Amino acid sequence: MENESFVVTIRSDESSTSVEVSVGTKAFELFKERSEVIAARIDGELRDLSHLLTGGEVIEPITISSRDGLNILRHSTAHVLAQAVQELFPAAKLGIGPPIEDGFYYDFDVETPFVPEDLEKLETKMRQIIKRNQRFSRRVVADEDAYGQFKNEPYKMELIGLKGSSSQVGEGADMEVGGSELTVYDNIERDGSVAWYDLCRGPHLPTTNRIPAFKLMRTAAAYWRGDQHNKQLQRVYGTAWPTKEELATHLDRIEQAELRDHRRLGRELDLYSFPDEIGSGLAIFHPKGGVIKRVMEDYVRQRHIEEGFLYVGTPHVTKEELFHTSGHLPYYSETMFPPMEFEGSKYRVKPMNCPMHNLIYKSRARSYRELPLRFFEFGSIYRNEKSGVIHGLTRVRGMTQDDSHSYVTPEQAGEEVTHLLNFVLSLLSDFGLNDYYLEMSTRDDSKKDKFIGTDEDWRTAESVLAKIAEDSGLTLVADPGGAAFYGPKISVQARDAIGRTWQMSTIQYDFNQPARFGLEYQAADGTRKQPVMIHSAKFGSIERFMGVLVEHYAGAFPPWLAPVQVQGIPVADRHVDYLYEIARTLTKSGIRIEIDESDDRMQKKIRNAQLAKVPYMMIVGDQDIEANAVSIRYRDGRQENSIPIAEAISMIQRAIDAREQV
């Protein structure tokens, strides 16, 4: 055997070195000393460490903790799960099993859906497979051979047939057939026998015992290839991490996230509830939630007026003919509550406010001199959201939109959209939300029956919005097919503090309703022209926005939003009157103070105020009274003693006015 050699380049973030290796060298031999390296990017392609080098390659090590490395770890763990499922449930058919954010899933077609106890059995089996230390071994197969080897796996057969048209395959499935050639990964036992194999693009960990820490999280059903007309498969979600500590940290993060769930905090802080007696997806606001809601509304109403909006009011129900005019029937009827028969007419609760605002516009002749004409209200709307999607305050059936409609000339449209976007962003910032991105929702050209209007009008509308969205400099995500039936939209997707995103503010460009309602204005040249209307909700819905705020602040609101701003705590009964005296002054300035005159001990009162997440505890005892002062304790345990009364009040007032967090 010749001892021929050649040169390859190893590149890492900062450096690049050439090494001479002998023919037949595999990638892992370059990283023998580095157990954290689990794969390699070779000439730009992710490869297994068993990849055979032929000379001249540029090789980047992939560590298990890198983004690619985590995906590989999780994808390999998904394979181990699938193997475990088929060992325990031999009749199970394989779906797909991709890595996802923080974990992975694998879909299976099984006769009986998995139950929670199955997860424990599967975890035990997976640990055995990991211990057996099987090798992940890649091989390329021809289509014909693949059909033979997967003849008992109908879903894999379907994917093989779809190879190369990955856009049609469905989310996640490119892990199976995303490459240019079909590959199979064999799981090979230490005795050389093949324990299991799966259609897969790879790459994978070298062996199963390179999975340091994993956990199966939950089961769920999922439609095959994401289409509700297809069969539902049983999905198992899991997570995997480079170390046991990171797994523990991840599980702890999830626990922390549950503590700030707005449904839980709503109950604990007595903000709102969802009584069965009223119906699913319909919230009631308790006094403390009512304070937050009112402060939000007062503030946003004031800001609208400052921005040139005219406050209007419209009813909750209307004869349904109005929605034929607007196009909601039939385009939107599935999402509307069914009609009520009344005095020979069918009435509907409104799912949107725009038709009503159009009637205000139409109530008299309009001149170009009035435009932009901006109507705004808190419109209570009702939508028949499917039962399975209702979720606390963030997905409800009855909500209030801070809804506006700007009627503009086509020439003014761009400027008005810019104005609205800036307005929206300033409001988000006032509420302390700064983690969001924009989404641009356009028409799906293949589903024209879901949208009204001409191609040309849609092109115009989409280009106006797209330009402004791009000019904003914010992250912009495309959402093809997500437009309203009457026009495209820009929306703000805000992240709550635990990373979930919600559609909040929307700005929609609508050329359809002005035409359907016959809206017009008299132009400077005396002709009658059709306005464009721009729909916009700044919070989106007050309910959803409040839900996101509760989670963002974990219930510890900045003083201007806090239901109780100051909790008065007397050290003993004899200090109560002094507190009430101070409370009179605070109440006069509009500061919300409550005094705890229960016969709890002072320590208990502090605990209660702490659990209620009140921003200022005003504690008063003999020493404070003597000094004509108060002591202020904050939620983080910080305390300032003996602050003169006037100074304490102005300090609190300043924080409220500045909308600061304390």
Partner RNA sequence: GCCCGGGUAGCUCAGUGGCAGAGCAGCUCACUCGUAAUGAGCAGGUCAGGGGUUCAAAUCCCCUCUCGGGCUCCA
Q: Which is nearer to RNA, 197 or 423 (CB)?
A: 423
509 three-state secondary structure: strand
Radius of gyration (C-alpha) of the chain in whole angstroms = 31
- As given in the structure block, the two tokens for residue 220 are 């769920």
Tell whether residue 218 is a contact of RNA (CB under 7 A): yes
Catalytic residue among 51, 79, 443, 535: 535
**Binding segment (CB under 7 A) for RNA, from list 61-69, 161-169, 383-391, 453-461:** 383-391
For residue 131, indicate whether it is catalytic. Answer: no
Cα–Cα dist 53/26, whole Å: 6
Q: Angle at the Cα of 540 (from 661 to 336), degrees rounded to 5?
A: 150
Tell me which residue of 349, 401, 361 sits closest to 377, measured CA to CA. Answer: 401
For residue 604, indicate whether it is catalytic. Answer: no
- As given in the structure block, the two tokens for residue 547 are 């839900």
Task: State in angstroms the smallest separation of the CB of 258 from RNA.
Answer: 9
410 three-state secondary structure: helix
Tell me which residue of 470, 476, 508, 503 sits closest to 489, measured CA to CA. Answer: 508
Catalytic residue among 163, 328, 383, 605: 383
Tell me which residue of 428, 427, 373, 382 sits closest to 405, measured CA to CA. Answer: 373
Out of 29, 430, 622, 647, which residue is the one contacting RNA (CB under 7 A)?
622
Out of 21, 390, 497, 498, which residue is the one contacting RNA (CB under 7 A)?
390
Q: Which is nearer to RNA, 86 or 503 (CB)?
A: 503
**Binding segment (CB under 7 A) for RNA, from list 80-88, 129-137, 464-472, 616-624:** 616-624
Helix (H) or strand (E) holding 131: helix 116-131
For residue 401, indicate whether it is catalytic. Answer: yes
Out of 121, 127, 132, 263, which residue is the one contacting RNA (CB under 7 A)?
263
Out of 21, 162, 213, 222, which residue is the one contacting RNA (CB under 7 A)?
222
Out of 216, 484, 546, 579, which residue is the one contacting RNA (CB under 7 A)?
484
Cα–Cα dist 93/155, whole Å: 7
**Binding segment (CB under 7 A) for RNA, from list 46-54, 284-292, 305-313, 566-574:** 566-574
DSSP annotation of 500:
-
Of residues 435-464, those binding RNA (CB under 7 A) = 441
Tell whether residue 503 is a contact of RNA (CB under 7 A): yes
Q: Which alpha helices (H) appear in 453-528, and where do they start and end?
A: 455-471, 512-516
Of residues 596-615, those binding RNA (CB under 7 A) = 598-604, 606-607, 610-611
Tell whether residue 52 is a contact of RNA (CB under 7 A): no
Q: Which is nearer to RNA, 102 or 307 (CB)?
A: 102
Cis peptide before 203 (omega within 30 of 0): yes
For residue 535, indicate whether it is catalytic. Answer: yes
CB-CB contact of 190 with 132 (8 Å): yes
- As given in the structure block, the two tokens for residue 102 are 């923080």
Quick one: three-class SS letters along 559-579? CCCCCCCEEEEECCHHHHHHH
Stretch 176-215: interaction string toward RNA, x if CB under 7 A:
----------------------------------------
Q: Which alpha helices (H) appear in 539-644, and where do they start and end?
A: 542-553, 576-588, 602-611, 622-626
Tell whether residue 339 is a contact of RNA (CB under 7 A): no
- As given in the structure block, the two tokens for residue 61 are 């090590």
Tell whether residue 227 is a contact of RNA (CB under 7 A): yes
Of residues 307-336, those binding RNA (CB under 7 A) = 332, 335
**Binding segment (CB under 7 A) for RNA, from list 78-86, 290-298, 366-374, 632-640:** 632-640
Q: Which is nearer to RNA, 113 or 161 (CB)?
A: 113
CB-CB contact of 153 with 147 (8 Å): no
Of residues 121-150, those binding RNA (CB under 7 A) = none
Of residues 506-545, those binding RNA (CB under 7 A) = 506, 508, 537, 540-541
Q: Which is nearer to RNA, 423 or 545 (CB)?
A: 545
- As given in the structure block, the two tokens for residue 605 are 């009162």
Stretch 348-367: interaction string toward RNA, x if CB under 7 A:
----x---------------
**Binding segment (CB under 7 A) for RNA, from list 201-209, 408-416, 503-511, 583-591:** 503-511
Tell whether residue 628 is a contact of RNA (CB under 7 A): no
8 three-state secondary structure: strand
Tell me which residue of 469, 357, 349, 434 sits closest to 403, measured CA to CA. Answer: 357
CA distances 331 to 323, 324, 399, 450, 452, Å, are 10, 9, 21, 7, 9
Task: State in angstroms the smallest separation of the CB of 474 from RNA.
Answer: 19
CB-CB contact of 314 with 340 (8 Å): no
For residue 215, indicate whether it is catalytic. Answer: no
For residue 592, indicate whether it is catalytic. Answer: no
Tell whether residue 221 is a contact of RNA (CB under 7 A): yes
Give the residue numbers marked as catalytic.
354, 383, 401, 403, 405, 489, 535
